[in-house]
Structures are given as C-alpha cells and as structure tokens.
Structure 1
Amino acid sequence: MTTIRSVDRLSDAEVADVLALATAASQSDGVFPLSEGVVLRVRNGGGRHLLSYSGADLAGYAFIDETGSGELVVAPSFRRQGHGAALLSAAGDGPLAFWSHGDNAQAFAEKNGFARSRVLWQMRRSLTDFTAESVLPEGVTIRPFSVGNDEEAWLAVNARAFAHHPEQGRWTIDDLRLREAEPWFDPAGFLLAVDIEDTLVGFHWTKVHPPSDDDPALGEIYVLGVDPGGHRRGLGAALSVAGLRHLADAGLTEALLYVDEDNPAAVALYRKLGFTVYQTDVNYQR
C-alpha cells in the first residue's frame, strides 16, 4: 500500500532515510539524484517534502520549492510500482518542473506530461597540465572573502550578475549562511575581485569535493560572476583562471563546473579554458 507524507521539515530519521534512498539511487544510476540545494533543504528544512511509503519503507521522495521547481527520486527496489506517479499526484495539478540528473528520466517525464525545458551541462578538465596565469584588468586585485563582512556586497553583485538566472539570482542571506556552515566552505577559495576602493566588481567562488569511489577530489568553479554595472573587459576570464590556479596549487587534479547549454558566452569561455561536456542534467516542465 502506497502512502504519501507531506511536510515542510523532515525529522532526523527522515533526513537519514531520504539521503540513504538517494545514495542507493546513485549507486544504481551512476549519478546522485539530488542537487546540493535540495540536500541543504533536506537537512535544514524549507520548501515542501513529499515522502512515498510502501508499508513502513521509504520508497520515493520529492522536493518542491516555492516556485514549483524540484527533484524526485524513487528507490531502485521500488521502481515501476507507481511511487513516482503518486509523488507527482501529491504535488498537485499546477505548473511543475523537476531536474533529471544524468537525464535518465525522459520516458517517465514524457509519460506524465512533462517536456524538456532546460539543459545543464557538467563540464570537466584536467588540472595536471594547467599552467595559465591570471591577468587582471588595471586597478583590480583579488582578495579572499571575509566572513561577517562581505555577505551583503556579494549578495548584491550576485543578484545583478544573475538577474535572469532562475536559481542563482534569487539567493538570500540564509542561502549564503547555509553554505558558510558547510564543511567544504573555505573563504580562502572564495576569491573576490575588488577595485582600488575595495568595491566588489566580480568573484570566483571555488569548491572542493572530497574523493569518492568514482572520482578523486574535485575542484569546482562553484559560482563565477562579474558585476554588469562595473564590467571590466576580460575580468570573467581572469577570474576563471585565478580560481583554477588556486585549485591546481592546492593539489587538485581535476575541475568541474555547471553551465546552461544555452549560455553561449559562458560555454565559449569554458571551452577555451579546456573544459568538455562530462554529464547532462535536464529540467522537465509541465
């Protein structure tokens, strides 16, 4: 018998069950089914959490944020038993979008009335041969992020740089604080480009992923942005190189990033830096 539970915050036991389900799915599918942002909501609350049970066993999980976008995963041992459809039904009849990491849910999406609406590429490159050095525009220097001092300035530039981005441009101080509390957060790898008055004009926030069974430790171009109001020619490329240089100097041998397929300027920059497509995530919309 399938039952659905809907909550805005998971208990500690439910958090453990959801993450265990996601891990089992990643081992079966070869890709983790939940994004970092959703994992943070799983652990800290917010949004809407739907849990599908078969008896006492957690069989499926879906997250839906305030905009009607989310993610859905069914445990490998409970697939093709109606749990995915039950979670979609519990989500309601309104507009809805969900991410398919690794694009392995096309048949399910189309069967349930969803169409492909957005493609996100994960791109990678080796850092073992990375020799480029950053050349900054005149009057610009790079310093590390200062916790407790730079949050508001960074949020303002991030909002302007990603004004048309469906997720990144909406970040709040709570979103930033959650990440500052994560074990991976390192202000030394959060590079800020400032002018001679210490006004923030751009940034490159790097992240280091610990090694796993499938990958060595990976460095990431986590968020890269330039203030469109004070744009300096070549700053985006210079910040990209500076962050990759930081990761390479820290001993990382491979770097990754995420970029929308339909962002030609960013894709061209990353291809010029030696990145190639490694994995495709697809957003399906109803």
Structure 2
Amino acid sequence: MTSDDTAPIARSIETRSALSPDQAEAVLDLLADAARNDGQQAVSEQGRLQLRGGAREGVSHLLLTVDDELVGYAQLEDTDPVEAPAAELVVHPSHRGHGHGRALGSALLAASGRRLRVWAHGGHSSARHLAQVLGLTLFRELRQMRRPLTGFGLPEPKLPEGVTVRTFVPGEDDAAWLAVNAEAFAHHPEQGSLTQRDLDDRQGEPWFDPRGFFLAEREGRLVGFHWTKVHAQEQLGEVYVLGVAPGAQGGGLGRALTVVGLRHLAAQELPTAMLYVDADNKAAVSVYERMGFTTYETDLMYRTET
C-alpha cells in the first residue's frame, strides 16, 4: 500500500472482475515503476498472478485513471469465509500527492462494506498515514528475514527416523502437495487455501524449478515440504513455503527441511537467503534467529475496527 496527500483532481475509478491483457500489462508496468521507486513491490506475488488469466472468484480490480491514463490500482480479494476482504493498492510515483491513494482506499471500503484488511508492504510512513486517514488500525506484522549463505557452513540435515526427501514431480505430486499444504496451513488462510489453479500459476512462472521443491515422505506418504525460490535479478534465494503435516510436527522435520533447502540455494552460489514469517509466531522467529536469520524489513496489515 502506498499513499499520498489529498488535493482536488478529476479522476475515475473502474471496478472490474477481470482485466484484459492490455490492462494487465498496464498494471504490471505501473507496479514495476512503483517498485523501482519504493524498493519493494506494492502488490504481492499472489496479487500479481491474479492480474492475468480471467476472472477469479472473489477477486476485484480497481483501476484509477486520470485523463485515460492509469495512475492507480487496487485489488480486493474476498475469499476468506471468516476474515474481512483483503486489499493491496498502489499509486504511480509521479502521481502521488493528489489524493489518489485516499480515493482508492475509500472505494475499497465501500466495496467491502467497510470490512477491510489492507497490506502496506515495507510499512512506509505514507502508508501508515493513509491507514489513519481511512480509519484503519494495525492488525498484523509480517517480517522478512535474511541470512548469508556464504561465510559459514550449513550442517548436514538431520531427518527424523523413517523420513526420506525427494524433489517434486509436476503433474504427479500436485494433489498430495495441495492436501498437505492445506493441513499444514489450516491456520493461515492465504497459504492454506491454495488451489490447483494457484499451483499451476506458479509452475508457469519463469522462476519455477522442481529441483528446488523438496518433499519429505514417511512410508510413501507426504509429511512435509520445502519449496525454495530463486530471485535471479536480486541474487536472493527464498525459503518460499515450508510446511509440515500436523502429525509430523515437533520432531525436527521443519528444521531439517529448512537446511535441505538452504544447502540447495547455497550450492547455486547465491549470497543471501530470505523468508517471511509472522512476527507473532515467536517459536518460528526464534528458530530462524538461531539459524542465522535477522529481520530485514517489515510488512504491515491494517484493518477496520471489528
């Protein structure tokens, strides 16, 4: 989420259930310009994937234009059966300071029935100001943590007895992975609700590499996984998704899978690894800190009062 000050100006906001290819490219160009200016993306990977491929249930796109020029974008996702709809928004850097952020935020509040959660990636002061203007309060803190992959070694992974690790086979492991992912992240609606379409979207991305997608099995049954990701341009390796089935938790499998993935990333001569973790997940933060990770930046989520 990025913000601006308010000033009277002519603008138009159009809400669509799906974007045309040209509209999707225009939004991606806007996001790229904003990312170069702000230092991080204003819309998450999931949100960027949802720009293409037609309509998706519960997803709306808000396009803010001035004189037919796209200068702002917001995405609203209303798929969680319990939580309020979630949103992300951005205004082009050269058009900030004219009230476009507030206009998009107000449109999101209206579309959600004033039940709204909004991400502010990077937690910039302008986004905090916009949240206050819209009457939103801080709800969630997501940390990006990093550690070097060079300079000190990674130990051999110590897998629990009877557990073996192999790599993901697209088309064969999809259903089993989706089932365990849903179990492992039942408390995490954004990750736990991934569908075959979401998995297909990611497998179609240039960064997807099954050689970095590790599955842990016991007696032929999937019990955990570590999906790594390489950000080639930034020379970053990511602990993209790490999950352990409920029945296999507490035996050291998560730590072992983390090491498996980090060793894979280090073997590609990447200098740094990153991951995301909720700040209130004290146990996970503590584990990652013991593995050499430190907080690099923070994303904040704001919401309407409940």
1:43 positional shift? 2.4
What corresponds to 1:221 in structure 2?
239
What corresponds to 2:82 in structure 1?
none
Matches of residues 1-286 of structure 1 in structure 2 within 5 Å? 1-45=10-54, 46=56, 47-67=59-79, 68-91=85-108, 92=110, 93-104=113-124, 105-128=127-150, 129-195=152-218, 197-211=219-233, 215=234, 217-231=235-249, 233-286=251-304
Q: Quick one: distance in 1 between partners of 2:43 and 2:224? A: 29
Aligned partner of 1:86: which letter? Answer: A
The Cα offsets for residues 37-93 of structure 1, whole Å up to 9 and x where unpaired, read as 000011234310000011111111000012410200011121121212222232213
Aligned partner of 1:89: which letter? Answer: S
Q: Is the Cα contact below 8 Å between 2:154 and 2:259 reproduced in 1?
A: no
The Cα offsets for residues 13-42 of structure 1, whole Å up to 9 and x where unpaired, read as 211211111122122222221110000011
Aligned partner of 1:237: which letter? Answer: R
Aligned partner of 1:142: which letter? Answer: V
Aligned partner of 2:141: which letter? Answer: V
Instruction: Output the TM-score relative to the length of structure 1.
Output: 0.95
Q: Quick one: distance in 1 between partners of 2:46 and 2:87? A: 10
Q: Is the Cα contact below 8 Å between 1:130 and 1:248 reproduced in 2?
A: no
Q: Which moved more, 1:81-90 or 1:177-186?
A: 81-90
Look up the SS of the partner of 2:286 in the other structure.
helix
Aligned partner of 1:180: which letter? Answer: Q
Q: Quick one: distance in 1 between partners of 2:156 and 2:288? A: 15
Q: Quick one: distance in 2 between partners of 1:230 and 1:86? A: 48
Q: Is the Cα contact below 8 Å between 1:8 and 1:49 reproduced in 2?
A: yes
Deviant stretches of 4+, over 6 Å: none
Q: Cα RMSD over matched residues? A: 1.2
Aligned partner of 2:131: which letter? Answer: A
Q: Quick one: distance in 1 between partners of 2:269 and 2:229? A: 13
Q: Quick one: distance in 2 between partners of 1:264 and 1:252? A: 28
Aligned partner of 1:243: which letter? Answer: G
Q: Quick one: distance in 1 between partners of 2:122 and 2:101? A: 17
Instruction: Output the TM-score relative to the length of structure 2.
Output: 0.89
Q: Quick one: distance in 2 between partners of 1:23 and 1:232? A: 41
Alignment identity in percent?
51
Aligned residues: 281
Q: Which moved more, 1:116-125 or 1:36-45?
A: 36-45
Aligned partner of 1:60: which letter? Answer: G
Aligned partner of 2:118: which letter? Answer: F
1:201 positional shift? 0.7
The Cα offsets for residues 251-285 of structure 1, whole Å up to 9 and x where unpaired, read as 21110000000011111111111000001000111
1:232 positional shift? 5.5
Q: Is the Cα contact below 8 Å between 1:124 and 1:257 reproduced in 2?
A: yes
Q: Quick one: distance in 1 between partners of 2:172 and 2:154? A: 33
Look up the SS of the partner of 1:167 in the other structure.
helix
Look up the SS of the partner of 2:51 in the other structure.
helix
